[in-house]
């Protein structure tokens, strides 16, 4: 059966979460269903499906939007249709959050987002970021709030680092890369944007290339053409 052009497959959404090609994801479950749920799809924000006209203007212009409900039926389909009528490139998630979670898609606990102050304002971290001060903003922007803003302040204004990169074997390489980035990009915000690519690459390796060994010819690109 052909898939509706107004829907997106679970696998297609899952492949883009955690990347710089992520979509704007909106949870449009009925308020009672959302309130009783423990988890949301990563980066999702809740919106009332019956009040699309009231919040649609807050969406970024030109963005690709995915809305989801419990099973991908009437609630999310109607929200997608209303957004389309307003000129947005919107689709509903085929199978809803239930199907997405069952397929192993990335979800997060609502309580975690609330404790972290999800979408409550800018995030604060230490100036001159290195390993974890790049990794944490990357994690937040890719899996919590794709529009997150980060402020870099003096070291005495934030909690101290562990200072023990030897605790993980990968840390030595990440430290070398972050030190090099600091030399190339003395502006913390520019350095963070460049550093995001490092962790994007590591996620892509974890998802698609862990079984590939160094050799020739290289394996086919698993995400080419997406």
* 141-196 confidence digits (pLDDT tens): 888 888 888 888 888 877 776 677 777 787 888 889 999 999 999 999 999 999 99
Q: pTM higher than 0.95, yes or no? A: no
Residues 74 and 159 in one domain: no
- Domain boundary pick from 113, 133, 165: 113
Residue 157 included in any domain: yes
pLDDT at 2 exceeding the cut of 50: no
pLDDT at 125 exceeding the cut of 90: no
Task: Give me the chain's average pLDDT, please.
Answer: 87
Q: 96-105, 125-134, 195-204: lowest mean pLDDT where?
A: 125-134
Q: Contact at 8 Å (CB) between 158 and 167? A: no
Residue 218 included in any domain: no
Domain that holds residue 109: 7-113
Give which of 120, 98, 123, 97 is closest to 44, Cα–Cα. Answer: 97
Residue 71, classified by CB atoms within 10 Å of its CB into exposed (0-12), middle (13-18) or buried (19+), is middle
Contacts within 8 Å (CB) and 24+ apart, 129-133: 129/178, 129/188, 129/191, 129/192, 129/195, 130/161, 130/175, 130/178, 130/179, 130/182, 131/165, 131/171, 131/174, 131/175, 131/178, 132/161, 133/161
Residue 226 included in any domain: no
pLDDT digits (tens, 9 = 90+) for 11-28: 999 999 988 888 999 999
pLDDT at 209 exceeding the cut of 50: yes
Residues 51 and 148 in one domain: no
Count of domains for the chain: 2
pLDDT at 115 exceeding the cut of 80: no
Q: What is the mean pLDDT of residues 204-214?
A: 83
- Domain boundary pick from 113, 138, 153: 113
Interstrand relation of 39-41 and 107-109 (parallel, antiparallel or unpaired) = antiparallel
Residues 70 and 155 in one domain: no
Residues 36 and 89 in one domain: yes
Residues 157 and 204 in one domain: yes
Compute how many other C-beta atoms are within 10 angstroms of the C-beta atom of residue 43.
25
∠ CA(11), CA(12), CA(15), 5° rounding?
Answer: 80
């Amino acid at each position: 059966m052909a898939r509706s052009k107004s829907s997106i497959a679970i696998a297609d959404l899952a492949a883009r979460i955690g990347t710089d090609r992520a979509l704007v994801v909106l949870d449009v479950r009925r308020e009672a269903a959302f309130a009783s749920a423990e988890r949301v799809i990563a980066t999702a924000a809740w919106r009332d499906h019956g009040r699309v006209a009231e919040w649609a203007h807050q969406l970024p212009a030109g963005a690709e939007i995915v809305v989801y409900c419990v099973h991908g039926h009437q609630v999310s389909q109607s929200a997608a249709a209303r957004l389309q009528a307003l000129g947005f490139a919107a689709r509903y998630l085929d199978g809803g959050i239930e199907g997405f979670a069952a397929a192993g898609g990335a979800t997060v606990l609502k309580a975690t987002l609330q404790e972290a102050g999800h979408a409550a304002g800018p995030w604060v971290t230490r100036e001159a970021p290195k390993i974890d001060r790049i990794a944490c903003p990357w994690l937040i922007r890719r899996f919590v709030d794709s529009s997150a803003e980060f402020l870099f302040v003096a070291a005495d204004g934030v909690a101290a680092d562990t200072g023990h990169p030897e605790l993980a074997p990968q840390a030595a390489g990440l430290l070398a890369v972050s030190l090099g980035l600091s030399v190339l990009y003395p502006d913390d915000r520019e350095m963070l944007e460049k550093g995001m690519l490092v962790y994007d690459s590591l996620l892509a390796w974890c998802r698609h290339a862990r079984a590939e060994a160094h050799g020739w010819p290289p394996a086919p690109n698993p995400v080419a053409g997406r």
